[in-house]
């Protein structure tokens, strides 16, 4: 008995696949999108995964990449069962799947299930041809939509800022390459996880409150505080969240690494503080210099100086108090001759 995970959002094909597989005694689980599939894969280890490509939340192509990126599911027999293979064959070939089947009429499902099980049991992997594509004509509209989708994927994957798409529960359902680099995770460990599990700091409470509000209505855009930033690991980040209502509410998040800006701001503040302290010291020095460059009232007889308090001080005391100079006492030659003539003549 083989274990099979069916990832499909079309109710008709779910019933057809389930019926055909259960007739072959397969144990099946059903997920209607990639996010549900990842939840099921936490407790169910399938032998075969059959997935569509175009689905809400986590798409089939992202799910394929996650399955191949996760050690637990890396060797699963992976089947792409999609209606867009005629238009997107080249892109889907890059998904490292084992079998590609183009969806056709409902009556072909039983035949394709037989082929899936036979190919799996024979151990044949990495088939390069598309089963069921003969006779199918590429649809211009589908090809154009896939082209636009691929175009935007290229843009997102080459942005410097991390861009994520989220559910109202905060589950990551899409992320660009910059996101994986920022959180230091692979697609398998980031897509499907809670965004808040990768963020820390007091502002994360506000992020949780915003998601609570988004489950009830469309809240105003959220922008985290630059001065009190969130952290992703050891990186300071600024988070922007915008909610939009279509059939369901979806949320786009932009996460910007501001560690470099914060470090530059801190350095600038440090330099400004040092300059401020130096200016204070310079102003004080200039003030002291000015006190000694003005007109000093000097006694003609005793040579004392009158200070700002109208007190007379010895010259050496005044200079010591009002400048950075120190006084060292000595005797000039004239005073030696006058007061100590005997020493003057000997010298």
pLDDT at 134: 65
pLDDT at 142: 53
pLDDT one-digit tens code per residue, 207-237: 999 999 999 899 999 999 999 999 998 999 9
pLDDT at 106: 77
Contact 84, 146 (CB under 8 A): yes
CA-atom Rg of the chain in angstroms = 40
Q: Please give the C-alpha separations between residue 145 and each of 54, 137, 139, 342, in angstroms, as whole numbers.
A: 11, 16, 10, 116
Residues 6+ apart with CB under 8 A from 295: none
Helix (H, G, I), strand (E, B) or coil at 29: strand
Q: Is the pLDDT of residue 159 over 90?
A: no
Burial class (CB in 10 A: 0-12, 13-18, 19+), 68: middle
pLDDT one-digit tens code per residue, 257-315: 999 988 898 899 999 999 999 999 888 877 766 556 667 788 888 888 888 888 998 88
Q: In this structure, what token pair is assigned to residue 76?
A: 């699963």
Q: Is the pLDDT of residue 148 over 80?
A: no
Give percent of the chain with pLDDT exceeding 90: 40
pLDDT at 140: 54
Q: Is the pLDDT of residue 170 over 70?
A: yes
pLDDT one-digit tens code per residue, 60-109: 888 998 999 888 999 999 998 887 765 555 566 677 889 888 887 778 88
Structural domains for the chain = 3-142 (3.40.50.2300), 159-257 (3.30.450.20), 295-347 (no CATH)
Helix (H, G, I), strand (E, B) or coil at 59: coil
Q: At what angle do helices 259-293 and 315-322 cross, to 10 degrees?
A: 160
């Amino acid at each position: 008995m083989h274990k099979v995970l069916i990832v499909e959002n079309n109710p008709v094909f779910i019933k057809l696949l389930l019926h055909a597989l259960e007739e072959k005694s397969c144990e099946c689980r059903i997920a209607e999108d990639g996010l549900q599939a990842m939840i099921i894969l936490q407790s169910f280890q399938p032998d075969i995964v059959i997935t569509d490509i175009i689905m809400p939340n986590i798409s089939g192509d992202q799910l394929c990449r996650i399955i191949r990126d996760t050690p637990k599911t890396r060797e699963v027999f992976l089947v792409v069962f999609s209606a867009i293979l005629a238009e997107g064959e080249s892109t889907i070939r890059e998904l490292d799947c084992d079998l590609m089947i183009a969806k056709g009429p409902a009556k072909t499902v039983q035949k394709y299930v037989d082929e899936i099980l036979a190919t799996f049991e024979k151990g044949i992997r990495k088939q390069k041809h598309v089963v069921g594509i003969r006779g199918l004509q590429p649809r211009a509209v589908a090809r154009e939509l896939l082209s636009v989708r691929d175009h935007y994927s290229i843009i997102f994957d080459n942005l410097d800022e991390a861009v994520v798409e989220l559910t109202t529960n905060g589950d990551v359902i899409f992320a660009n390459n910059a996101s994986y680099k920022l959180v230091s995770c692979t697609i398998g460990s980031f897509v499907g996880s809670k965004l808040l599990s990768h963020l820390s700091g007091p502002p994360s409470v506000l992020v949780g409150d915003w998601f609570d509000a988004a489950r009830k209505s469309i809240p105003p855009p959220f922008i985290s505080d630059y001065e009190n930033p969130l952290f992703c690991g050891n990186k300071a980040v600024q988070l922007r969240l915008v909610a939009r209502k279509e059939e369901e509410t979806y949320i786009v998040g932009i996460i910007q690494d501001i560690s470099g800006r914060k470090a530059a701001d801190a350095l600038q503040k440090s330099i400004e503080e040092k300059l401020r302290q130096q200016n204070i010291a310079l102003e004080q020095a200039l003030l002291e210099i000015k006190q000694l460059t003005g007109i000093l009232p000097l006694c003609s007889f005793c040579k004392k100086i009158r200070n700002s308090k109208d007190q007379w001080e010895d010259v050496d005391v005044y200079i010591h108090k009002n400048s950075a100079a120190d006084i060292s006492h000595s005797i000039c030659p004239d005073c030696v001759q006058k007061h100590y003539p005997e020493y003057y003549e000997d010298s």
